[in-house]
A and B are shown apart, each in its own frame.
Chain A
Amino acid sequence: MTPVCGLDRIDRESGVTALVEGHAVAIFRTYDDQVFALSNFDPFGRAGVLARGIVGTRGDVSFVASPLHKQAFDLRTGQCLDDPTVSVASYEVEVRDGQVLVGGRRR
């Protein structure tokens, strides 16, 4: 796993972009300090922007809304909540000793 930054670099309910093995990965931290990692690439707007989206909840699901056209993606899975046929990749991620580590792309 690749260490990318300290957890304190990520505001609660927001994201940062990290470069992990040549891929732009969006790392999010929720209100209750869970950390998730998705591909930064927004498949609708076709640009690397997801880390800059607003983080919120729909029911119990934490999501990020693309800053381009507001489609929502489930932080846990990368599934688009507005269009079941679209999803983005999600990554293994964990926090160890206050450091955020990103692993491989989930299947």
Chain B
Amino acid sequence: MTDQEQPHRRQQLVVVGHGMVGHRLVEAAIERGLTETHDITVLGAEARPAYDRVALTSFFEVGAKALNLLPRGRYDDPRVSLRTGVEVVAVSPRQRIVTLNTGEDMHYDELVLATGSYPFVPPVPGKDLDNVFVYRTIEDLEAIRKAARKARSGAVIGGGLLGLEAANALSQLGLETHVVELAPRLMAVQVDAAGGRTLSRHIEALGLSVHTGAMTEAILGPDRAGRVTGLALKDRKALDVDIVVFSAGIRPQDALGRAAELVVAERGGILVDERCRTSEEHIYAIGECAAPGGVMYGLVAPGYAMAEVVVDTLLGGEGTFEGADMSTKLKLLGVDVASFGDAHGTTEGALELTYADDVAGVYKKLVIAEDPEDGTRRLLGGVLVGDASAYGVLRPMAASGLPLPDNPEDLILPAGGGGGVALALPADAQVCSCNNVTKGEIEAAVDAGCETAADVTRQTRAGATCGSCKTQVKKIVEDHFAAQGRTVDRSLCEHFPLTRAELFDVVLIHGHRTFDQIVEAHGTGRGCDICRPTVASILASQLNGHVLARENRTLQDTNDAYLANLQRNGTYSVVPRIPGGEITPEKLIVIGEVARDFGLYTKITGGQRIDLLGARTEQLPAIWRRLVDAGFESGHAYGKALRTVKSCVGSTWCRYGVQDSVGLAIMLELRYRGLRSPHKLKGGVSGCARECAEARGKDFGVIATEKGWNLYVGGNGGAVPAHAQLLAGDLATEDLVRYLDRFLMYYIRTADRLQRTSTWIDQLDGGLDRVREVVVDDVLGLGTELEAAMAQHVDCYVDEWTATLEDPDKLARFVSFVNAPDLPDPAISFDTARDQIVPAPAAVDLGASIPVGAGR
């Protein structure tokens, strides 16, 4: 049943909090098709849409715009609505209602809490004075920047990861900066004492003052304007500062959950199970407000994993959140710091192997366990300060508990590290921690036919989540190829040592017009069933000549050679074009009459037209004579060419439609009809967000919005279905056509043979973003050229069947036998099923030798 008939059937998913994790949830929901069944409403308390909090400190350099995770301010999927600046003040699980600070009540079927965390401010006297800040939001940073204009010095309370970020910010703002840390070292959670010392030295070398083991007793002040004047430390001299920033830890924002009586973990955070479900069946919690198994994770990657799990669960999947690796690698004040696995050597019997170079400011520690029986050593974890380049190799080693090489010190000595060691990773080493993919699985994917790292990512999801292992994946793929002595051969076939895209360029540059010219200049032999049709397609795309023109007709696959689709018994199917699926009763009657008079089987196709099957070669001209006389033209169902542009009924009739989808579909189908391409091309146009034309299942899909058209590209059905992705939104018809012209021509020029748009986009370096750069932003300056090529196609279009009927030379081919032109092939016969003809099984030809048991 379509959505149009059952609008109330859609599920309402409400997301509270539009931070990094809430945003990720929506992205995953769109990408994985959850919005096909769910409307999503996101309610965010911050005034702006989600931004990259991890990169918050760079706000001073790059500004708020660069941090924005949703630059257009809304999602391209019209079924998602985002409201910022609204706070949810209450949840009523029994009625399934959330209450907003505006007083509105909102119903949900499923609720996701993604409210994050808030900075902890200890109850120190003076904490409410002016110029005392926290470090969490863009607004916090804006306020700090404003205050810094009139300040000379500042102190950060807290020397953890975030505190050092804040200190970095103050020092970037030109303040004399102090870091005050209660623990005896900096970043106590991540690094050990020696690592902390190395870090302190780096930071002091940058001109910051580090006070470890220092307890803040009070914030001094106020001055006459109500502001801070200093910081009183226990047993130490007070610090004279104008600004104080608290960075003393975070607390899960679980207030909504508590008020709704959801179960809360002992140390805070809404308790969730491995599905990220709270104690209420229809409420989930993810990100920093959640505590899976009682543990709250203060990092973004585990939050992302939780978001994926919830989407998977709502889709009926089996995914679970299994805890997360708390390993971190970051650059703080220009210093590399990494910590992974058991960084503190708390495992019983753990040994430590350290390397320190105080001059260079490098400290590295490996935590190792030795098996008491066979003496093999395994890596448990480690700390890297000053040089974290070995992290990519060491983290997976530790995570998989692999035996270490005999000389583990090579892993952290300056000469070691890096590339060579990666090869030593055994097959069961986990490379992608987000999706738990091992090196062995990556290699197996290559053996199973993946040709590129992008293929592997698609197949295994390695690198598909946070992307941090992408280079590692690529290297493993390349090394695996190299190890097998394999290079990726992208030649078209034995006759041409070129890819289709290269051949396309060569033909264009040299202005070749025939296969003979092309094979003499760039190939060998006389071609084959692969390169001959490819050349035919390239020539057709460039020259728009008739496919049955004498010089090139022997290049055509039999479908193109007879302008009809070959069926299993040697007969053909005939498909007249019905643009946009719109047809008059008169024309429908003609199709019926032709089918009846020639005894053809008829069936409605998925592309909104009518297939007439069972036509013999010699019948095709007579059938087409009738169709052409009635105003039909070729539907190119036989070509690697534009097939149809499917449409829904649109705003003319449909009470939901917002634009004339039929009109646009007809316009596009007529514009691109006859366009030869690397593979078949299909389009669709839907008149509203209900998407009844299934446009996102097409190579190009257009969906009407209130303001214009959204253009999606790269969809297809078939064995490996793909959903089209948004290329550009809210377009005027004129811009839509321009982008489509460019997109299609760019595809035709650069795709491989038989490569659909979806795989082509995936294999482009940069993927969809690259397509957008070329098509929308025109970074290659190709826009006009591509548009001109399409304009030429449009101008030169003639109906192939009309032209064939007018040319005796072309018609001469449509015979059953060269010496008995009208005699039906006696080998073709039909049975009847459900009142129509169907192919009868063929008799075996006596001359053929087929081994017993062979055949189909």
Contact = CB atoms under 8 A, between A and B. Distances in A.
Given A9-B818, A17-B817, A48-B828, A53 B558 contact: yes
A43 B819 contact: no
Contacts of A88: 845, 847-848
Interface in A41-61: 41, 43-49, 52-59
B532 A67 contact: no
B845 A44 contact: no
Contacts of A31: 526
A11 B553 contact: yes
Given A24-B827, A52-B562, A41 B532 contact: no
Contact of B570 (A12, A14, A49): A49
Contacts of A18: 817-819
A23 B561 CA distance: 23
Interface in B827-849: 827-828, 841-842, 844-849
A83 B553 CA distance: 28
Contact of B527 (A47, A48, A57): A57
B821 to A, nearest CB: 10
Contacts of A46: 841-842, 844, 855-856
A70 B558 CA distance: 11
B808 interface: no
B533 interface: yes
Contacts of A105: 847
A87 B557 CA distance: 22
Contact of A48 (B529, B827, B849): B827
B532 A54 contact: yes
A5 interface: yes
A1 interface: no
B529 A65 contact: yes
Contacts of B827: 24, 41, 47-48
Interface residues of A, number: 49
B: interface residue count bin: 35 or more
Given A47-B842, A57-B526, A41 B557 contact: no
Nearest to A89: B847
Contacts of A19: 817, 819-820, 823
B819 A57 contact: no
A29 to B, nearest CB: 10
Nearest to B844: A46
Interface string B115-159: 000000000000000000000000000000000000000000000
Contacts of B588: none
A41 B569 CA distance: 11
A46 B550 CA distance: 30
A57 B525 contact: yes
Contacts of A22: 826
Interface string B546-573: 0000100111011001100010111000
A52 B533 CA distance: 14
A67 B566 contact: yes
Given A4-B819, A54-B532, A56-B525, A85 B851 contact: yes
Contact of B554 (A4, A48, A55): A55
Contacts of B828: 47-48
A30 B527 CA distance: 12
- Determine the main DSSP class of B at the interface with A: loop
B494 interface: yes
B825 interface: yes
Nearest to A60: B525
B816 A67 contact: no
Contacts of A13: 526, 554
Contacts of B569: 47
B522 to A, nearest CB: 16
Contact of B566 (A4, A16, A68, A89): A68
A17 B816 contact: yes
A45 B819 contact: no
B850 interface: yes
A86 B553 CA distance: 29
Contacts of A43: 844-845, 848-850, 855
A27 B817 CA distance: 11
Contacts, number: 141
Contacts of A27: 818
A86 B561 contact: no
Contacts of B526: 13, 30-31, 55-57, 62
Given A12-B554, A53-B529, A86 B850 contact: yes
A54 B528 contact: yes
A48 B570 contact: yes
B570 A47 contact: yes
Interface string B803-828: 00000000010011111100101111
B849 A86 contact: yes
Nearest to B569: A47
Interface centre among A16, A53, A54, A68 (most CB of B within 10 A): A54
Interface centre among B527, B553, B846, B848 (most CB of A within 10 A): B848
Nearest to A87: B849
A39 B849 CA distance: 11
B848 A54 contact: no
A66 to B, nearest CB: 9
Contacts of B818: 4-5, 9-10, 16-18, 27
B822 to A, nearest CB: 12
A72 B290 CA distance: 62
Contacts of B568: 45, 47, 68
B415 interface: no
Contacts of A57: 495, 525-528
B529 A41 contact: no
A79 to B, nearest CB: 10
Contacts of B848: 39, 41, 43, 86-89
A39 to B, nearest CB: 5
B528 A58 contact: yes
A86 B527 contact: no
Nearest to B848: A43
A4 B495 CA distance: 33
A65 B842 CA distance: 20
A65 B529 CA distance: 6
B854 interface: yes
Contacts of B812: 9
Interface centre among A49, A63, A72 (most CB of B within 10 A): A49
A19 B290 CA distance: 79
Contacts of B554: 11-14, 54-55
Contacts of B531: 56
A59 B528 CA distance: 11
A44 B569 CA distance: 12
A65 B849 CA distance: 17
B845 A41 contact: yes
Contact of A54 (B557, B817, B844, B849): B557
A24 to B, nearest CB: 6
A66 B296 CA distance: 64
B300 to A, nearest CB: 50
Interface of B: 494-495, 525-529, 531-533, 550, 553-555, 557-558, 561-562, 566, 568-570, 812, 815-820, 823, 825-828, 841-842, 844-851, 854-856
28 contacts: A5-B819, A11-B554, A16-B818, A17-B817, A17-B818, A27-B818, A39-B845, A41-B847, A43-B844, A43-B855, A46-B842, A47-B568, A47-B570, A48-B570, A48-B825, A48-B845, A49-B558, A52-B561, A52-B566, A54-B557, A56-B495, A57-B525, A67-B557, A67-B558, A72-B529, A86-B849, A86-B854, A89-B848
Given A18-B819, A53-B529, 15 more contacts: A4-B818, A16-B818, A24-B825, A39-B847, A43-B855, A46-B844, A48-B828, A49-B558, A52-B561, A67-B566, A68-B566, A85-B850, A86-B854, A88-B845, A88-B847
In the A-B complex, the 10 residue pairs with the smallest Cβ-Cβ separation, listed nearest first, are A89-B847, A41-B845, A67-B558, A65-B529, A56-B528, A47-B570, A43-B848, A16-B818, A57-B525, A14-B554
Interface of A: 4-5, 9-14, 16-19, 22-24, 27, 30-31, 39, 41, 43-49, 52-59, 62-63, 65, 67-68, 70, 72, 83, 85-89, 105
